[in-house]
């Protein structure tokens, strides 16, 4: 799994929309990470590919000492503004996940929320192992829409695949494979970590049709890969699909997600 830095940085162009429409993560996830890795009450955490801080701020709210690492300036600007508004202290570094500049053996936990699939996996895992203290661990997690729990999402997945195949880059395949074979293989081949665990949780996020449309257009395989004409057609078809499933007006409806979280300890406690 190799890095795609150009596509990864494309999110910077719509940082505000990304922050407004992407779902966050439940407390249950961070409870599980803390329990399984036996973290102290206030662990030192580095959040790689932090984006606008969905995970960074959630961890800071728990009293965890968080450093957010993110290459995109606009993403960091949103993260810093949100932290200030919430009265939270989050350190920030503008850097790539593969080369953070953080001191070696200095942190208890490294996280990557909705971002590991954009990294060069081997280089990023080596960097994680470098900055982790002995016995420290990693948590790589994603919100993944769950079409098995929603007829609407099942139809939406078909729409996505059809349009993604017409774009320059089949990025939907990258989305659909995250949290599964690519991540498993990267962890197993790295040699830097003990045997991993896949934790799976569920959540439902209430979205209005407009919010779902906004979320759809934060996906790189739509926003960055499709032509303007194809984006217009996709928008019309998604609007019609929402209507066929009774999702119109401003009334929110539940969007089921599965959270895939890979947890592993650094070797050499």
Total of domains in the chain: 1
- Domain membership of residue 211 (yes or no) is no
The residue that leads in pLDDT, 190 or 107, is 107
- Is residue 226's pLDDT more than 90? no
- Domain membership of residue 152 (yes or no) is no
Three-state secondary structure call for residue 229: helix
Confidence (pLDDT) at 101: 98
CA distance 164 to 68: 31
Range of the domain at 111: 5-146+173-206+257-265
Question: pLDDT tens across 69-85, in order?
Answer: 999 999 999 999 999 99
- Domain membership of residue 73 (yes or no) is yes
Q: How much is the mean pLDDT over the chain? A: 90
- Is residue 201's pLDDT more than 90? yes
How does 115-126 read in b/e, with b if 16+ C-beta sit within 10 Å? bbbbbbbbebbe
Confidence (pLDDT) at 16: 79
β-strands 44-48, 107-113 pairing: parallel
- Domain membership of residue 110 (yes or no) is yes
Closest CA to 179 of 156, 196, 163, 192: 196
Local confidence band at 232 (pLDDT 50, 70, 90 cut-offs): very high
Question: pLDDT tens across 139-178, in order?
Answer: 999 999 999 999 999 999 999 988 876 544 444 555 555 5
CATH number for 55:
3.40.50.150
- Domain membership of residue 177 (yes or no) is yes
Local confidence band at 12 (pLDDT 50, 70, 90 cut-offs): low
- Domain membership of residue 166 (yes or no) is no
The residue that leads in pLDDT, 51 or 167, is 51
């Amino acid at each position: 799994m190799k890095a795609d830095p150009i596509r990864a940085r494309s999110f910077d162009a719509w940082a505000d929309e990304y922050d407004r429409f992407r779902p966050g993560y439940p407390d249950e996830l961070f409870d599980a990470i803390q329990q399984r890795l036996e973290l102290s009450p206030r662990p030192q955490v580095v959040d790689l590919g932090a984006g606008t801080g969905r995970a960074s701020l959630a961890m800071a709210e728990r009293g965890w000492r968080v450093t957010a690492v993110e290459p995109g300036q606009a993403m960091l600007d949103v993260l810093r503004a949100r932290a200030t508004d919430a009265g939270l202290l989050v350190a920030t570094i503008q850097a790539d996940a593969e080369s953070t500049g953080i001191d070696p053996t200095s942190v208890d936990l490294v996280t990557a929320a909705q971002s590991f699939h954009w990294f060069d996996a081997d280089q990023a895992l080596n960097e994680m192992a470098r900055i982790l203290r002995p016995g420290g661990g990693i948590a790589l997690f994603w919100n993944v829409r769950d079409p098995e729990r929603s007829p609407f999402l099942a139809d939406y997945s078909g729409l996505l695949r059809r349009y993604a195949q017409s774009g320059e880059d089949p990025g939907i395949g990258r989305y659909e494979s995250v949290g599964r074979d690519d991540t498993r293989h990267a962890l197993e081949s790295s040699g830097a970590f003990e045997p991993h665990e896949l934790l799976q949780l569920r959540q439902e996020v209430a979205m209005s049709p407009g919010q779902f449309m906004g979320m759809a257009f934060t996906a790189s395989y739509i926003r960055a890969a499709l032509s303007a004409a194809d984006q217009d057609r996709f928008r019309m078809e998604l609007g019609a699909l929402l209507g066929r499933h009774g999702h119109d007006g401003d009334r929110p409806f539940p969007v089921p997600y599965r959270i895939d979280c890979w947890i592993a300890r650094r070797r050499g406690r």
